[in-house]
Structure 1
Amino acid sequence: MSQADHRTAELRRPGGAGGTGSGARAGTRLIGIDAARGLALVGLIAVHILPAEIDETGDPTVAFHLFYGNSAALFALLAGVGLALSSGGRSPHQGRRMVGDRLGLAVRAALIGTIALIAAAIMPNGGSEPGILLYYSVFFLLAIPFLHLGPQSLFLSAALFGLAGPLLLQYVGPLLPESSADNHTLVNLVGEPAGTASELLLTGIYPALPYMCFILAGLGIGRLDLRNTSVVARIAGIGAALAVAATGISSILLYGLGGYERLLETPGMTEDLLYEAIAFGPDTVPNDSAWWFALVTPHTNMPLAIADSLGLALLVTALFILAGRRFVRWLTPLAVTGTMTLTLYTTHLLVLSTEIHEGLPAVWFVVHLAVAVAFAMCWSHWRGQGPLERPVTAIVRRSRQLVDPPSPGDSTGPMAKRDAMSR
């Protein structure tokens, strides 16, 4: 059997790189989830390196349209799916097992937050791009009370966060203190607790309250029967319809019902500034008009923008789950990359902070991507879990076993051996 065949067999095997280690789920479908996570990592690398604006015209680039906001939303959705799979899938754990799941998730959040703080402290001048890891730790903490819920309750909760988050962002956000850093360090956390908390929860680039819509939607998806082709196809259809509807409603509100003209009446607003706000998003969403809710621009975290990114994330996830059943070998490099995103993303941020990528962005994007995939394939073949994933998984497993000891003969206990950013 060749190395590729060995790798394919491992990805198919429950408890392998693509398995959950919890129940007899179909391992092949999880290749699609890991591959989708790998694609989200590719998108975040693109966002950090490739330009967002075409110099000659001032219009958004293809990379901006494809990845800005959407990659982070896909990451968050898949994190929710991972949380569901590690806590019982279609049948959420109960009793001590659920207590163990909650404790493990709290420990995981603390570990990822610690890694984020250490990375930010290492990066020169705080780094050139804000990272998502510290926000992730907050996502996981906020997800703890929802871990036991079924899909309907989770989807309803996701919708509530998708509406309440933007309202709080627009009307409460301007009143909150700011932090002096994009990548928060322990110094910021201690010296500016209010400003750091405000950004992590509401006003930062990946604010936890709006992003809980993606986390909880992913949790709900993970509680469905993802072995059922019709269920997965329905997820894809709903995702596509949601994205199309969000974009269409935004266009109708702005250009059919007078929203553009109303926004142009904002004090100090010009047509050029409004074009920038609609195309790229304003630095801060003004709180003087509800018409700003019509924006579908990435990272504005307005309701339609959230709906658009959520729809695309659902569509991509479903398509990759389906593709993972037929194209295992083709998806293997991307899937293996998706199993160690904590290691690869952290390393990417550290390298990015050196700013050696400032020239030839396309070349550096290919370099970052090629090195990430090559490292993931080699490390996974020889060592298994990623350098950061392995200790995080071990610590979380032991913390869960404090309240949910493994049964006799079970060498892994209830802890699923999965990527540290997937749950």
Structure 2
Amino acid sequence: MHRTLDDWLAHIERQHGQTIALGLDRVRSVKAALGQSQSCPVILVGGTNGKGSTCAMLERILLCAGYRVGLYTSPHFLRYNERVRIDARPVADAPLCEAFARVDAARGDTPLTYFEFGTLAAWEVFAAARLDAVILEVGLGGRLDAVNIYEPDCAIVTTVDLDHMVYLGDTREAIGFEKAGIFRPGRAAVCGDPEPPRSLLEHGAALGADLQLIGRDFGYRRQEQQWQYWGRAGKRSGLAHPALRGANQLGNASVALACLDALREALPVAMQDIRRGLAEVELTGRFQVLPGRPTIVLDVAHNPQAARVLAGNLGDMAFHPETWGVFGMLHDKDIAAVIEPLRNRITRWLPCSLEGPRAASAEELIQALTAAGVAGPLPAFPTPGAAMSHALEQAGENDRIVAFGSFLTVADVLRTLKRDVL
């Protein structure tokens, strides 16, 4: 009945009344019906920001070491296939459709959300590929996220900050507890937040997880044009900066290396693999600077912490007479807190509407910008693509255009620019 990937995606969208319905009972029961088991090391990567970058670094270093690697991430930009990668290549439609069919048959009357369905299907694809390592990115939170049905050999929490507060709580302590839900007794747990919530520390200790903290058990030091990593397995000096841009990437790289140190018996990697992996890593929409003029920056920053990092990274760039901001967000995000750190970095705001029931309209963004003290009148654009087209027409060659606020914003800009994901 469901022959194409588009058919399957439409089908699985209809199988649960809610887009997000946290809980593990449904997905665990279907996992059991499928008879899924683990045959290689598994890494779970959670956190408020930095998950995608850390996953990409782990994937690339392990590939450089000669391992076959599966990576499951979300959301996607242009095609669903981006979510399920084997050896850094999106899986083709046919294996995904076959996996969806197996999940659909196994679930019986059990309703699954879009993400739960996709998580089980991704594992089916990975199990058939005989991989050496699997990296799973948490979709939302951790404790009740679908990927948490699998047993990690190492669990990572990159950072903890305010996001998805309707589901996770409105304090860092509440959110930290949810993030720490992916830790396991006696297993490696790596945290890259320099000030982790007490709830995360206490939960890790209560479980008996082997918790490693940045600044205490591992970390980095800047060295002229290079950097040094230090951790339980020793120091690695003279490392080139990761190919991913932004000052925050040394923290993400340190987290990745701490994870690999913890798994060094099962997945040994050499220094040359680390050097090459960090030099070759690519990731769409994380302070991605496109070649040419005017300078175009794509960043999915959609919460206060990510906006602060983006503002800092923009401040570290060369001078640009004008910075045009293609700005689209979801209305359930903290729009005012995202605007604040960028208010003085962007000189020409171009608010735009996104698609979908969670989208904020351009008019809502204009209200938030006005309340933040951004001078008007401000234009309104129906899509990020329309805002980007306007910016390209109006910007000088020495100006800068920044598209940010959501994966949806960056995705529509990619389509407008006729660019594929990295």
Q: Per residue, is there more strand in 1 or in 2? A: 2
Q: Per residue, is there more helix in 1 or in 2? A: 1
Report the TM-score, using the length of structure 1 for normalisation: 0.25
Which is bigger in relative contact order (C-alpha 8 A, separation at least 6)?
1
Report the TM-score, using the length of structure 2 for normalisation: 0.25
